[in-house]
Amino acid sequence: MGSSMAENHPVGFQWVMEARHKGAKVIHVDPRYTRTSAMADYWLPLRAGTDIIFLGALINYTLTHDRYFREYVVHYTNAPIILREDFRDTEDLGGIFSGWDKEKQAYSPETWLYEGAPSADSPSGEKAGHSQAGGGHGKDRGGEAGRLYKYNDDPTLQNPRCVFQVLKSHFARYTPELVERACGIPKEKFLQVADVFISASGPEKTGAICYAVGWTQHSKGPQIIRAAAILQLLLGNIGRPGGGILALRGHATIQGSTDIPTLYDILPGYLPMPFFGSDSQKLESYIKKHGSETGWWANFDRYIISLLKAWYGDAATQSNDFCFNYLPRVTGDHSHFGYWLDMADGKMEGLFVMGQNPGVGAPNAKLQRTALSKLKWLVVRDFVETETASFWKDSPEVQRGELNPKNIATEIFFLPASGHAEKDGSYTNTQRLVQFHEKAVDALGDNRSETWFVYHLGRRLKAKAAKEPTPRNAALNALTWDYNTHGKHGEPVVDEIDGEINGYRVENRTLVSGYRDLKNNGSTACGCWIYSGMMPAPDENKARKREPHGLYGHGWGYAWPSDRRILYNRASARPDGKPWSERKKLVWWDEEKKEWTGHDIPDFTKKKPPDHKPDKDARGDDALAGDKPFIMHPDGTGWIWVPSGLKDGPLPTHYEPLESISSNPLYPEVPVNPVAKKMERPDNPYAFEGGDARFPYILSTYRLTEHHTGGGMTRYLSHLAELQPELFAEISPELAAELDIQHGEYITISSARSAIEARALITARIKPLLVEGRNVHQVCVPYQFGYKGLVTGSVPNDLLAISEEPNVRIMETKALVCNVKRGRLPQGKAGLEVWKEEMRRPA
């Protein structure tokens, strides 16, 4: 679900086909019939934005038919844990959970805590993990709201307030009938697929769920993934071979760019960026807030102090909090959309754009391009002149007279960048697998790698700061920036950067063997604790390895942490340490050697026996029993219930997309996620909730195999341009007949933001769905087109709205509303008038 793996992740999909040849069943749930659907045993088209109803019905089916893996659920999840008496579910309150503050439009998580878990409010009074400024990308922060290792439980699962019973009640109305009515999937089809998938459970069987941005880019994206996690925990499919939830990344190193982040609210290794507030003024209070008394995050201090030593070297000492106050503070929404709206309002002076093309690749691209005109300066690094770099002279806004190049004061610096094959480096894929790639050819002319650019920019800034030793420049002057260079252009030696990321002993610069070697006293430095162990010796960069062996490919690249191929793999053995079955054995307790062993690196303390019972006052990993596999959680369990850390509730709940053709079938009074942010304003308008007569059709977007993200990499390549020469929109034969549209002719698609034109691709791959007793049509558009390159066209992202899901601030691009008309969109000002006329129609 949420992906077309065959088209967008074909290298990984070959293993799905291998499994199918060996008897596995492949199920594809997607609004469109794609190459993935063609290779699947079952294809179920659903209404975009109703994934939680579908997954919730699978959860309900599992529970009501007693198909859950009971021994796994009782021992390894928090299903037996009893909740507080004052918790109220959405079923009790008509669509919201207890703790809702209507004035602040936010939740307090206190009533979501376990019974017996004391609250752990921060000194500032803020509920930890629920800052409105944060984007939620940091480490699992549920333990911050309470001491979750203290709880009452009922292993019989009968207590009405235990997680298991609350879960049953919460999803009781997610029935096959609701799936048929709201998703458009016939009841019989759902039941057939439910039985197939849920049979992949128990000691002998497992099943996996794969997703991509078809799940994440929703106003409730993390909660969709949470629903999948609940289902997999109930089936015992986490930490076991053939199980899991696999996030399919649409770019080679999207995983790597969150591990060592390009996100504003985290530091490397998912350590939270400090916020502006009383609990971030001192390192001690920051550690107290984000660390944990029990579980692996009790080592939080080791990771942050080692990071500060890597960045600030000798300047970072215990007496100055290891330069903790040199780190910037989060003061508000500094996400892409937060600062882009600030840019549109004239609050930003300059911007670096590297590795992206927001001029066509971001939602409400019209606003994005217009906002660039408010900057004083803009730096774009790319190997072609993108729409972002040339917005000032050839954008649709210029053609329509909305922008005048003579009035744009933005000074633009376009710097040539190297392509993938022209630079050394590494990338991290879906499996957390870090792989090194060597440069194949030298870059032409002035093209340079990002490593070169950032290093030399930093070197020049440090030289400038050294001449001005002011308090403002103290952090820059302290920054370690001493990498050796090579070649005629002075390219940094990337193995030295990898060595710093791996970590070393400060005294003698010897590399550490892994994150267990890191200390909290300043004697170790480490650029990213989860990558520690990737390069344990100067001549041993494991990311370079290409000698796979064994069942799980050890010896090919390096999977963080510690080269584990399956996380939480202690769950692959029974509570007593023996494999669930011979067929599915992965790691197990070796009674003779008194240690964990197996086909993978055990994700557990090697010498901790299965029957270990912690002392009452135990802390850290020692406080977790020998049958608690989920070591990153303070209670050691897999979280069916999230006590804190999610801003929109402890359980997934269906809400309609922010733009929808219908009302919420479960909670009519709460149609959309109450915590999601529309960012609605005159330059980012929305259709009306619950159905807007101007926009009667569902709009969804997707990727093409032949074109990549913003298109700069692919629309300039002749062989790819020939394969996908023009923008199109997929519509069903039924909708085409209704609107008298012929295959291949132009159509105009409009939304509350803009209008575009595309060729009509009339295909049975898009089917009308019977939803709430009426036929519903979906329109699907690929999003990689723009107005530059060998192939050009309208910008589909002009149709989309800027919005922010509350936990990670991602936009909703997979379920909106639109209108479709036959004929081309006039060029220039006339096209603008056509869209304005659409907006004037009765809603």
What's the rounded mean pLDDT across residues 689-707?
93
Tokens representing 707? 């074109």
Burial letters 528-552, b for 16+ CB under 10 A, else e: bbbbbbbbbeeeebbbbbeeeeeeb
Q: Please check the confidence at residue 609 and state whether its pLDDT lies above 90.
A: yes
What's the rounded mean pLDDT across residues 489-518?
97
pLDDT band at 129 (very low <50, low <70, confident <90, very high): very low
Within-domain flag for 316: no
Give the DSSP per-residue string, 518-541: --SSSSEE-S-GGGTTS-SBTTB-
Last residue of a domain, one of 247, 274, 294: 247
Angstrom CA distances, 278 to 239, 272, 527, stand at 39, 15, 26
Q: Please check the confidence at residue 124 and state whether its pLDDT lies above 60.
A: no
Give the DSSP per-residue string, 387-441: TTTTHHHHSHHHHTTSS-GGG---EEEEEEB--GGGS-EEEE-TTSEEEEE---S
Last residue of a domain, one of 230, 247, 264: 247
pLDDT value at position 134? 62
Residue 110 DSSP symbol: G
Residue 745 belongs to what domain range?
697-840
| Helix, strand or coil, per DSSP, at residue 377 | strand
Element (H, E) at 749: strand 746-750
| Helix, strand or coil, per DSSP, at residue 357 | coil
Element (H, E) at 181: none
Give the DSSP per-residue string, 33-63: --HHHHHSSEEE---TT-HHHHHHHHHHHHH
Q: What is the 3-state secondary structure (H, E, C) of 640-687?
A: CCCCCCCCCCCCCCCCECCCCCCCCCCCCCCCECCCCECCCECCECCC
pLDDT value at position 145? 52
Last residue of a domain, one of 203, 229, 247: 247
Q: How many percent of the chain have pLDDT more than 90?
A: 87
Within-domain flag for 57: yes
pLDDT band at 249 (very low <50, low <70, confident <90, very high): confident
Calpha distance 425→808 (Å, rounded): 27
Q: Which residues pair with 540 in a beta bridge?
A: 537
Within-domain flag for 785: yes
- Asked if 87 and 96 count as a contact pair (C-beta separation under 8 A), the reply is no
Candidate from 127-131, 277-281, 655-659, 669-673 with smallest mean pLDDT: 127-131
How many structural domains compose the chain?
A: 2
User: One-letter amino acid identity for 58?
Assistant: L
- Asked if 783 and 701 count as a contact pair (C-beta separation under 8 A), the reply is yes
Candidate from 320-329, 417-426, 762-771 with smallest mean pLDDT: 417-426
Within-domain flag for 332: no
Tens-place pLDDT, residues 54-78? 999 999 999 999 999 999 999 999 9
CATH code of the domain in which 57 resides: 3.40.228.10
598 torsion bin: left (phi>0), alpha (psi -120 to 50), beta (else): left
Give the DSSP per-residue string, 761-777: EE-TTB--EEETTEEE-
CATH code of the domain in which 779 resides: 2.40.40.20
Give the DSSP per-residue string, 111-158: GGSBTT--B---TTS--TT--SS--S-SS--GGGGB-TT---B-TTS-
Q: Please check the confidence at residue 280 and state whether its pLDDT lies above 90.
A: no
What's the rounded mean pLDDT across residues 695-709?
92
Within-domain flag for 582: no
Angstrom CA distances, 33 to 38, 352, 698, stand at 7, 39, 16
Q: Please check the confidence at residue 549 and state whether its pLDDT lies above 60.
A: yes
pLDDT value at position 144? 56
Within-domain flag for 257: no
- Asked if 358 and 368 count as a contact pair (C-beta separation under 8 A), the reply is yes
pLDDT value at position 429? 85
Q: Please check the confidence at residue 822 and state whether its pLDDT lies above 90.
A: yes
Q: Please check the confidence at residue 542 and state whether its pLDDT lies above 80.
A: yes
What's the rounded mean pLDDT across residues 244-252?
82
User: One-letter amino acid identity for 106?
Assistant: A
Within-domain flag for 50: yes
pLDDT band at 710 (very low <50, low <70, confident <90, very high): confident
Q: Please check the confidence at residue 126 and state whether its pLDDT lies above 70.
A: no
pLDDT value at position 327? 95
Within-domain flag for 560: no
| Helix, strand or coil, per DSSP, at residue 206 | coil
pLDDT band at 645 (very low <50, low <70, confident <90, very high): confident
Calpha distance 343→340 (Å, rounded): 5
- Asked if 356 and 368 count as a contact pair (C-beta separation under 8 A), the reply is no
- Asked if 719 and 67 count as a contact pair (C-beta separation under 8 A), the reply is no
pLDDT value at position 146? 58
What's the rounded mean pLDDT across residues 479-505?
96
Q: What is the largest CA-CA distance in the chain?
A: 81
For 356, half-sphere exposure in the C-beta direction (CA atoms, 13 angstrom radius) is 13
For the chain, the average pLDDT equals 94
pLDDT value at position 141? 53
What's the rounded mean pLDDT across residues 683-701?
95
pLDDT value at position 481? 96
Is the pTM value of this prediction over 0.85? yes
